[in-house]
Structures are given as structure tokens and as C-alpha cells.
């Protein structure tokens, strides 16, 4: 078995996802090939993974290679990249702010998400073309944002099979397990319905609790936060962010989720900083965000600092020959589950963003939606999950319209479609700014937008 990680130099993703693979006995002996544009970074993460393999007496083969060499005869490909890095992400965050739009993450929807999609889609479709030539039967799985638009763009090419994997729903379910004080993960479950970073809870079942959804109120949540002792860990990479942004006495991380259930009639299963960007009238000022206890994740300035801290920590571990901490237990990320099922045939259940074949009955067909999925050697099969609740369906349809326009703009290099996508976005309250905002975002990303350069958008 040959598994490829593109963006394998990430100190945040690669040690975690790689060690998750190592903790699956069925995969032992496979080859893991890392690809990255930063040779120093990928050398570091490869050393980390080799140390983990050696410390635990495993038989994995860890290699570093160029893209074509890695993809040749690959069985499974994971993509985890950020085209343009932190500088480009800063533009996604700061340019909309000059227009009165206060992104809290800026990597999924709204002006920042649109901008990020335009940069990443050409790279993803390029990888898909190479895969169709070098490993046509391999799945392309990815954890890159904007998850929905990138999945949809690759699906529209028809070149390879693809799915997006996100930990937000599982992180929220872990939080609710703590909220309801149930220890066994199997004692709580629900359907997942929606689009990435904007799924909602449906048919919640908690062992020993009658009508659990009625307990999801702000009043009960505040009581829970007051009584809770210790750190609330979702066992996802979000824990790093929440620890930094939501220190005691600052913000209450899931207040907005419970607020929406109280006042808007749905409970979103993603971090509040992601959810709010899908709704109108929220990201209009820092005062509004603070009032709703929504933290600004973004890149100002924490992400670069966190990457530096993680890099230094990893360097110390390697120097000291210390145990690799990610080998202590499986995380809540679902890439390893997908790998075991697709490559070894052991059935697993994951959250997957794939084209809508009816799994969310009242959302547009073929649009990328997020639900539970059953995975086996035959593929990723979404669970038929009924309809999105009426209280949230209209908001989801608006987001899907924005995302569809974004994908088409990225594939064609059509400036007018970028304007249309911004106009469709609930974050852009004053639609008159859309053309000017589009020009600024495109100008900032010019070096990453070959599709627009060919159409002389910048001339």
C-alpha cells in the first residue's frame, strides 16, 4: 500500500495524521510518501514520523519525494496545503475588513473564503490531472479549506474520486458528550446535515436523556461552563486555537451555538467562528462578535506564532529522542479511518463532504454537502440523512449558491462570476461594494491566479 501526503511538511497536520495511520495495525508495513514545496519542513516531519515508527517497532516506510514520483502507483492521496501561505491568508482577512466585513476565520465562505478558493482550486485541479495519469484509481482525500469548494471543483473535472474530511462535527459531538456527562462515545450520536462548517444537529440521541435537544439552551450551557473543571478537549487541532482564544475570563467558545438554538431554531455542529460566517448580520463589527462570544481565529497574529511554537517543540523532541506524543492515542481526525476502510476493506463511518446524491434531500443535487458516510473498499457512501431543517435550509441554499459561483469563477477565470459570488454572500451586506472588493482580492492574489491572467483580468 502506498499513501501520499501532499503538504507533508506541515508541523500541525502531518505528525497527527501520520501517527493516526501508524496506530491502525491493519496498515502497518505500508509506504507513506511526503511531498512539500519546503524541503526543510518536510525533512523535519519525515524525521518525526520515522522516530514514531522506530519507537513503536512498526514497519512503515517513510519517504520524501517530488510530486510525480510520489503519485506514481499511489493507492491513496491526502492533500493538506495552503497556497500562498500566511501572507495570502492575511489578505483574505484584512482586505474585507477595510470594507467593514470582520472575518473570524476567513478560509471558507465570504470574501476570504472566495479568495482562498480562487488560489487553491487551480492547484487542486492540477493535482487531479496528475493523479488521473499516474494513479487513476486512487482517491484524493483532503483537509484543505475551503473544503466544499475544493471538493466540488475536483468533482466537476471528473478526473478522480474525491472527498473532503473535516473534524468540526466530531469535535462538537465530543463537546456535547461532556455537556451531557456521558463517558462512552457510543452513548451519544446524531445525524449530520449541511455544508462544511455549517452542518446542523439532527435526531440527537443521548443514552439516559429524554428529549436531549431541548436541553441545548444558553442557560444550561452557561451553567455547564461554570461548573466544568479542567480543559475541554475535542481531540482535534481546534484545541490549540481554543486554548489560545478562549482563556478563562475571555470568551465562552460555544455560546453562539446554543444562542442559535435558542433564537434561530437550529444547533450548528461547528465552531462558532466558522458558523457565524455563513449567516447575515453577525460579522459586521468586533462589538457584535464580542457580544455573541465569537472569537476571531484568523491569522492576526496567532497562527504564525503557533506554527513556530510547534516547530520548536518538534525540534526539541527529535533532538532529545523523546517519545512522539501523537502516538499516545488516536485523534478525532478521520483520515486514518478512511484509509483503513478504502485500502483494507474494514468498514468505518466518517464525516465526509461529497457531491449530493440525495443524502440531503432538500439541498441542490451535486452540490457538495457534508453528512455521515460509510466507507469500505468499494468507496465512500454517504448516509441518506433526510432533509435540512426548515429553519436553516434557506441559509444553506444561499451558501451553496455562493460556493457554486466561486467554483465556476475559479475554473473559468471569469471576473463577473467573482462579483456574483461576493454578491451572493451573506457576509457582504452592501452589495454595491462587490466589484471593488473583487478587484482588490484578485489583485492581491494575482501571482496565484493563472486562470484570470489568461483572460487579461489584470491588464
> What confidence tens digit (pLDDT) does each residue in 387-403 have?
999 999 999 999 999 99
Asked if pLDDT for residue 434 goes beyond 70, the answer is yes
What is the Rg, in whole angstroms, of the alpha carbon atoms belonging to the chain?
21
pLDDT at 299: 62
The most confident of 49-63, 284-298, 440-454, by mean pLDDT: 49-63
pLDDT at 228: 74
Chain centroid to Cα 327, Å, comes to 22
What is the CATH topology of the domain spanning 2-162?
Rossmann fold (3.40.50)
Query: Are the CB atoms for 327 and 22 separated by under 8 Å?
Result: yes
- 147-172 average pLDDT score: 98
| CA torsion through residues 446, 437, 435, 148, sign | positive
pLDDT at 379: 98
Range from 127-136, 220-229, 399-408 carrying the lowest mean pLDDT: 220-229
Query: Are the CB atoms for 297 and 105 separated by under 8 Å?
Result: yes
55 vs 193: CA distance, rounded Å = 41
Asked if pLDDT for residue 243 goes beyond 70, the answer is no
Peptide linkage before 281 cis (omega within 30 of 0): no
- Could you tell me which residue, 85 or 456, shows the higher pLDDT? 85
- Could you tell me which residue, 303 or 178, shows the higher pLDDT? 178
**Which of 309, 217, 221 lies closest to 265, judged by CA?**
217
- 311-332 average pLDDT score: 94
pLDDT at 38: 97
- The segment(s) of the chain belonging to CATH 3.40.50.720 are 2-162
pLDDT at 455: 72
Sequence-separated (6 or more) residues with CB below 8 Å from residue 346: 26, 340
pLDDT in tens, 113-142: 999 999 999 999 999 999 999 999 999 999
pLDDT interval class at 232 (50, 70, 90): low
* Mean pLDDT for all residues in the chain: 94
For residue 151, CA distances in Å to 145, 165, 280, 398, 402 come to 10, 10, 25, 18, 15
- 130-155 average pLDDT score: 99
pLDDT at 304: 79
309 vs 323: CA distance, rounded Å = 18
DSSP string across 21-70: HHT-GGGTT-EEEEE-S-HHHHHHHHHHHHHHHHHTT---EEEE--HHHH
pLDDT at 306: 81
Asked if pLDDT for residue 287 goes beyond 70, the answer is yes
294 vs 288: CA distance, rounded Å = 9
| CA torsion through residues 426, 92, 12, 232, sign | negative
Please give the share of the chain, as a percent, with pLDDT higher than 90: 88
Dmax (CA) of the chain: 65
Asked if pLDDT for residue 246 goes beyond 70, the answer is no
Please count the helices (runs of H) and the strands (runs of E) in the chain. 18, 11
**Which of 139, 141, 135 lies closest to 74, judged by CA?**
135
pLDDT in tens, 331-354: 999 999 999 999 999 999 999 999
- Count of residues in the chain: 459
pLDDT interval class at 283 (50, 70, 90): very high
Structure-block grid coordinates of residue 136: 487513476
> H helices within 366-433, ranges in order?
390-412, 415-424
Sequence-separated (6 or more) residues with CB below 8 Å from residue 423: 431, 434
The most confident of 220-224, 306-310, 361-365, by mean pLDDT: 361-365
- Could you tell me which residue, 303 or 190, shows the higher pLDDT? 190
At 254, phi and psi to the nearest 5? -115, 15
pLDDT at 249: 52
Asked if pLDDT for residue 369 goes beyond 80, the answer is yes
- Could you tell me which residue, 32 or 232, shows the higher pLDDT? 32
Q: Judging by beta carbons within 10 Å of its beta carbon (0-12, 13-18, 19+), is residue 350 exposed, middle or buried?
A: buried
Amino acid at each position: 500500500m502506498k499513501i501520499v501526503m501532499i503538504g507533508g511538511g506541515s508541523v500541525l497536520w502531518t505528525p497527527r495524521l501520520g501517527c493516526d495511520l501508524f496506530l491502525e495495525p491493519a496498515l502497518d508495513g505500508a509506504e507513506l510518501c511526503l511531498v512539500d514545496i519546503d524541503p526543510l519542513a518536510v525533512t523535519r516531519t519525515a524525521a518525526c514520523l520515522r522516530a514514531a515508527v522506530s519507537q513503536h517497532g512498526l514497519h512503515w516506510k517513510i519517504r520524501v519525494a517530488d510530486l510525480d514520483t510520489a503519485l506514481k502507483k499511489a493507492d491513496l492521496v491526502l492533500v493538506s496545503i495552503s497556497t500562498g501561505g500566511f501572507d495570502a491568508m492575511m489578505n483574505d482577512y484584512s482586505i474585507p475588513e477595510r470594507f467593514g466585513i470582520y472575518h473570524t476565520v476567513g478560509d471558507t465562505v465570504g470574501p476570504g473564503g472566495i479568495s482562498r478558493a480562487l488560489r487553491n482550486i487551480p492547484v487542486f485541479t492540477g493535482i487531479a490531472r496528475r493523479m488521473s495519469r499516474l494513479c487513476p484509481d486512487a482517491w484524493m482525500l483532503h483537509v484543505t479549506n475551503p473544503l466544499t469548494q475544493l471538493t466540488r471543483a475536483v468533482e466537476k473535472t471528473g478526473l478522480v474520486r474525491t472527498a473532503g474530511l473535516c473534524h468540526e462535527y466530531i469535535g462538537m459531538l465530543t463537546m456535547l458528550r461532556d455537556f451531557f456527562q456521558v463517558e462512552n462515545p457510543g452513548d451519544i450520536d446524531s445525524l449530520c446535515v449541511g455544508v462544511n462548517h455549517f452542518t446542523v444537529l439532527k435526531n440527537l440521541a443521548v443514552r439516559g436523556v429524554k428529549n436531549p435537544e431541548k436541553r441545548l439552551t444558553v442557560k444550561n450551557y452557561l451553567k455547564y461552563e461554570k461548573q466544568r473543571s479542567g480543559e475541554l478537549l475535542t481531540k482535534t487541532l481546534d484545541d490549540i486555537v481554543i486554548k489560545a482564544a478562549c482563556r478563562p475570563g475571555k470568551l465562552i467558545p460555544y455560546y453562539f451555538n446554543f444562542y442559535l438554538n435558542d433564537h434561530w431554531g437550529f444547533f450548528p455542529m461547528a465552531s462558532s467562528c466558522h458558523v457565524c460566517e455563513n449567516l447575515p448580520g453577525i460579522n459586521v463589527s468586533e462589538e457584535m462578535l464580542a457580544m455573541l462570544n465569537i472569537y476571531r481565529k484568523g491569522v492576526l497574529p496567532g497562527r504564525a506564532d503557533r506554527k513556530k511554537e510547534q516547530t520548536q517543540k518538534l525540534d526539541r523532541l527529535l533532538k532529545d529522542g523523546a517519545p512522539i506524543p501523537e502516538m499516545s492515542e488516536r485523534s478525532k481526525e478521520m483520515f486514518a479511518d478512511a484509509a483503513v476502510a478504502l485500502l483494507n476493506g474494514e468498514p468505518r463511518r466518517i464525516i465526509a463532504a461529497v457531491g449530493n446524491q440525495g443524502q440531503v434531500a432538500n439541498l441542490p443535487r451535486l452540490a457538495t454537502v457534508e453528512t455521515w458516510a460509510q466507507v469500505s473498499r468499494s468507496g465512500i457512501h454517504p448516509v441518506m440523512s433526510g432533509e435540512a431543517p426548515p429553519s436553516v435550509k434557506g441559509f444553506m441554499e444561499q451558501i451553496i449558491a455562493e460556493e457554486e459561483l466561486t467554483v465556476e469563477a475559479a475554473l473559468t477565470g471569469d471576473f463577473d462570476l467573482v462579483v456574483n459570488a461576493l454578491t451572493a454572500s451573506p457576509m457582504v451586506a452592501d452589495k454595491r461594494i462587490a466589484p471593488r472588493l473583487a478587484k482588490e482580492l484578485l489583485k492581491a492574489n494575482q501571482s496565484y491566479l493563472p486562470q484570470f491572467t489568461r483572460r487579461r483580468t489584470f491588464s
